[in-house]
Amino acid sequence: MPLIVRRARPGDFPALQQMLELYQYDLSDIWPQDADTEAKYGYNLERYELDERFHAHVALEGSQYAGFALVSPAAVTRREGSWMEQFFVLKRYRRTGSGRALALHALQSHPGPWEVGQMPSNVGARAFWRKVISEQTRGEFVEVQVTEGWWHGQVQQFHVRAAA
Ligand SMILES: CC(C)(COP(=O)(O)OP(=O)(O)OC[C@H]1O[C@@H](n2cnc3c(N)ncnc32)[C@H](O)[C@@H]1OP(=O)(O)O)[C@@H](O)C(=O)NCCC(=O)NCCS
């Protein structure tokens, strides 16, 4: 079944909340967070529903959710443009190009300056993003190491051109 990538609609938010639970658990060995007394991480998605500066995107295979991208205003190394706040592909759909398709859709939905970051030990994600960003920008990106501020890791800075 072909993969569909699109902006999230109001009806997608319960699935987004559930995928965030899976995402936070999946990354919990490198992104230590406590689940609450009901064993939920409870990521707050409110700004993605209410604030037009925050954008959620989803990937589906038929009616099955395969992943999501959360795009926020630039937050780490830039004052303008977009930051890939969270990005996840469910394990069943990995290494089949789903992440690439979702990432290219999310990047191209928000032309302008971009920053994408990976936590220091997320080696697979770094290889993934280097490949996707290289494809999107034809290799025109810079990588910086962020060691100060609220977020630490490797950040790729680049520009996404508006579609002609
Ligand atoms: C990182 C992630 C989004 C990749 O999704 P995916 O659907 O498997 O990615 P794709 O199949 O589109 O991969 C495209 C290319 O990226 C590279 N790549 C993807 N995952 C990789 C990994 N774990 N290690 C090395 N390279 C990888 C490969 O070059 C791959 O092409 P190939 O499969 O032909 O070799 C997914 O593994 C994931 O959700 N991980 C957990 C959450 C996470 O780390 N999110 C990112 C936070 S910055």
- Domains (range + CATH), the chain: 3-160 (3.40.630.30)
Cα dihedral 5, 9, 13, 15 sign: negative
Distance 37 CA to ligand 1 centre (A): 32
pTM of the model: 0.97
The per-residue pLDDT for 5 is: 98
pLDDT for 123 equals 96
What proportion of the chain, given as a percentage, has pLDDT over 70? 100
9-19 tens-digit pLDDT: 999 999 999 99
Is any ligand 1 atom within 6 A of the Cβ of residue 95?
yes
- Percent of all residues in the chain with a pLDDT value above 90, rounded to a whole number: 96
Distance from the CA of 95 to the center of ligand 1, in angstroms? Answer: 6
**Is the CB of residue 120 below 6 angstroms from any atom belonging to ligand 1?**
no
Q: Is 11 exposed, middle or buried (0-12, 13-18, 19+ CB in 10 A)?
A: exposed
Beta strand 64-73 with 82-89 is antiparallel
Mean pLDDT confidence for 109-125 = 97
Ligand 1 atom closest to the CA of 122, numbered from 1: 44
The closest residue, in CA terms, to atom 35 on ligand 1 is: 95
Find the 124 Cα to ligand 1 centroid distance in Å.
6
Res. 132 pLDDT band, cuts 50 70 90: very high
Tell the residue nearest (CA) to atom 10 of ligand 1.
97
Q: What is the pLDDT of residues 22-73, one digit of tens each?
A: 999 999 999 888 999 999 999 999 999 999 999 999 999 999 999 999 999 9
Does residue 4 carry a pLDDT above 90? yes
Distance CA 121, CA 70 (A): 21
Distance in angstroms (rounded) separating the CA atoms of residues 59 and 94? 12
Residues 106-118, mean pLDDT to the nearest whole number:
98
User: What local confidence, expressed as pLDDT, does residue 1 receive?
Assistant: 86
Q: Is 137 in the pocket of ligand 1 (CB under 6 A)?
A: no
Pocket test for ligand 1, best of 26, 28, 93, 128 (most atoms within 8 A of CB): 128
What is the per-residue pLDDT for 164? 76
Residues in Cβ contact with 63 at an 8 Å cutoff, skipping those fewer than 6 apart = none
Task: Share the mean pLDDT of the chain.
Answer: 97
